[in-house]
A and B are shown apart, each in its own frame.
Chain A
Amino acid sequence: MTAIRHLTRRDLLRLSPSVAAALAVGCRSRTGRFVDREIDTGRIAGSIVGASHEVGHRLRAGGLPEPQEIRDVPVVIVGAGIAGLSAGWKLAKSGFRDFEILELETDAGGNSRWGANEVSAYPWGAHYLPVPSSESTAVRELLEEMGMVHDLGPDGDPIYDPRHLCHAPQERLFIDGRWQEGISARELLGTAPAPGDQAMLAEFEQQVRRYQDYRDARGRRAFALPMALSSDDPDLVALDRISMLEYFDRAGWTSERLRWYVDYCCRDDYGCSLETTSAWAAWHYFCSRDEEVEYLTWPEGNGRIVRHIVERLERHLHSGMLVYRIRLTADPGTSETSTEGVDVDVLDTRTNSSVRIRARQVIYALPRFTATHVLAGYELPGIDAFSYAPWMVANLTVDRLPEGAAWDNVIYDSLSLGYVVATHQNLRVAPGPSVLTYYMPLAVPNPEVARRWMLERSWDDWVSIILGDLAPAHVGLESLVTQIDVMLWGHAMIRPVPGFLWGEPRRRAAEAFGPVRFAHSDMSGISLFEEAQYRGVRAAEDLMRDVGHAYRSSLGLAEEGV
Chain B
Amino acid sequence: MDEHNTPSTDDRHSKSLALLCSVFAIATCGLIYELLAGTIASYMLGDSVTQFSTIIGVYLFSMGLGSYLSRYFHKDLIAVFIQIEILVGLIGGLSSLVLFMAFAELDAFRVVLYSWVALTGILVGLEIPLVLRILKDQFPFSDLISKVLSLDYLGGLAASLLFPLWLVPQVGLMQSSFVFGVLNVLVAVWTCHLFRAQHRRPILTVQAYAVLALLLTGVAFSEVLLDFSERRLYQDPVIFARSSRYQRIVATQAQGEMRLFLNGDLQFSSLDEYRYHEALVHPGLASVASPQQVLVLGGGDGMVVREILKDQRVQHVTLVDLDPTMTDLFTDHRVFAALNNYALRSPRVEVVNADAFVWLEDSTSRYDFIVIDFPDPSNYSLGKLYTTTFYRRLAAHLAPDGVAAIQSSSPLMARRAFWCIVETVRMAGFDATPYHVAVPSFGEWGYVLASHEPFQMPERFPENLRFLNQLITPALFTFPTDMEAVPVEVNRLNNQILVRYQKEDWGQFAP
Assess the B355–A162 pair: CB atoms within 8 A.
Answer: no
A156-179 interface code vs B (CB 8 A; 1 in, 0 out): 000000110111111000000000
- CB pair A162–B493 under 8 Å, yes or no, is yes
Contacts of A427 in B (CB 8 A): 355, 357-358, 361, 384, 389
B357 partner, pick from A162, A169, A294, A429, beta carbons under 8 A: A429
A27 vs B387: C-alpha distance when bound (angstroms) = 42
CA distance A165 to B389 in the complex (A): 11
Complex interface bits, A414-443 against B, C-beta within 8 A gives 1, otherwise 0: 000000000000011111000000000000
Minimum C-beta distance from B280 to chain A (A): 20
Q: In the bound complex, what is the Cα–Cα distance between A263 and B8 (angstroms)?
A: 94
CB pair A167–B494 under 8 Å, yes or no, is yes
CA distance A169 to B495 in the complex (A): 8
Q: Are A168 and B322 in contact (CB under 8 A)?
A: no
A430 with B245: CB separation less than 8 A: yes
Besides the known contacts A162-B388, A168-B380, 14 further A-B residue pairs in the complex with CB atoms under 8 A apart: A162-B387, A167-B380, A168-B494, A168-B495, A294-B494, A427-B355, A427-B357, A427-B358, A427-B361, A428-B355, A428-B358, A429-B322, A429-B357, A429-B382
Please indicate the chain A residues that have their CB under 8 angstroms from the CB of B322 in the complex: 429-430
Closest chain-B Cβ to A309's Cβ sits at a distance in Å of: 25
Question: Please, how many angstroms separate the alpha-carbon atoms of A166 and B493 in the complex?
Answer: 8
Contact A168 B245 (CB under 8 A): no
Interface string of B351-365 (1 = CB under 8 A from A): 000011110010000
From A167, A429, A430, A431, give the contact of B496 (CB < 8 A).
A167
**Separation in Å of the B248 CB from the closest CB of chain A?**
13
Check if B246 is an interface residue, CB within 8 A of chain A: yes
Q: Which residues of A lie under 8 Å from residue B492 when comparing CB positions?
A: 162
Complex Cα–Cα for A429 and B383 (A): 9
**Pairwise interchain contact B493-A168, C-beta atoms closer than 8 A:** yes
Q: Which residue of B lies closest to A428 (CB)?
A: B355
A/B interface sample: 15 pairs, CB < 8 A: A162-B389, A163-B389, A165-B494, A167-B496, A168-B383, A168-B494, A169-B496, A427-B357, A427-B358, A427-B384, A427-B389, A429-B356, A429-B382, A430-B245, A431-B381
Please indicate the chain B residues that have their CB under 8 angstroms from the CB of A170 in the complex: 494
When the two chains form their complex, are residues B493 and A429 in contact, meaning their CB atoms are under 8 A apart? no
Which 3 residue pairs across A and B have the least CB separation, nearest first?
A: A168-B496, A427-B357, A165-B494
Per the bound structure, the CA–CA distance linking A25 and B68 in Å amounts to: 91
Residues of A within 8 A of B357 (CB): 427-429
Whether a CB of chain A sits under 8 angstroms from the CB of B385 is: yes
Nearest neighbor of A405 in chain B, beta-carbon distance: B380
B81 nearest CB across to chain A (Å)? 53
Task: Report chain B residues within 8 Å CB of A168.
Answer: 380, 383, 493-496, 499
* Contact assessment for A163 and B245 in the assembled complex, using a CB-CB cutoff below 8 Å: no
Complex Cα distance, B380 from A166, in Å, reads 13
Residues from chain A with a CB closer than 8 A to the CB of B496 are 167-169
Residues in A with CB closer than 8 Å to B493 are: 162-163, 165, 167-168
Please report the C-alpha to C-alpha distance between residue A169 and residue B361 in the assembled complex, in whole angstroms.
22
CB atoms of A430 and B246 under 8 A apart: yes
Tell whether, in the assembled complex, residue A430 and residue B355 are in contact, meaning their CB atoms are under 8 Å apart. yes
Nearest opposing residue in chain A for B500, CB measure: A168
* CA distance in complex: A294, B494 (Å): 9
Q: How far is the CA of A294 from the CA of B493 in the complex (A)?
A: 12
Q: Mark A163-200, 1 if CB is under 8 A from B, else 0.
A: 10111111000000000000000000000000000000
Identity of the chain B residue whose Cβ is nearest the Cβ of A165 in the assembled complex: B494
Please state if B245 and A429 are interface contacts (CB–CB under 8 Å): no
Q: Which residues of A contact B387 (CB under 8 A)?
A: 162
- Mask of B377-409 contacts with A, CB within 8 angstroms, 1/0: 000111111011100000000000000000000
Contact B384 A429 (CB under 8 A): yes
Shortest Cβ distance from B496 into A: residue:
A168
Chain B nearest CB, measured from A154 CB (Å):
14
Chain A residues near B499: list those with CB within 8 A: 168
- Bound CA–CA A428/B361 (angstroms): 11
Q: Which of A162, A167, A294, A431 contacts B246 (CB 8 A)?
A: A431
Distance to closest chain A CB from B271 (angstroms): 29
A427 and B322 CA atoms in complex are apart in Å by: 13
Of the candidates A166, A168, A169, the one having the most CB atoms from chain B within 10 angstroms of its own CB is A168
Residues of B within 8 A of A431 (CB): 246, 381
Contact indicator per residue, chain A 265-305, by CB within 8 Å of chain B (1) or not (0): 00000000000000000000000000000100000000000
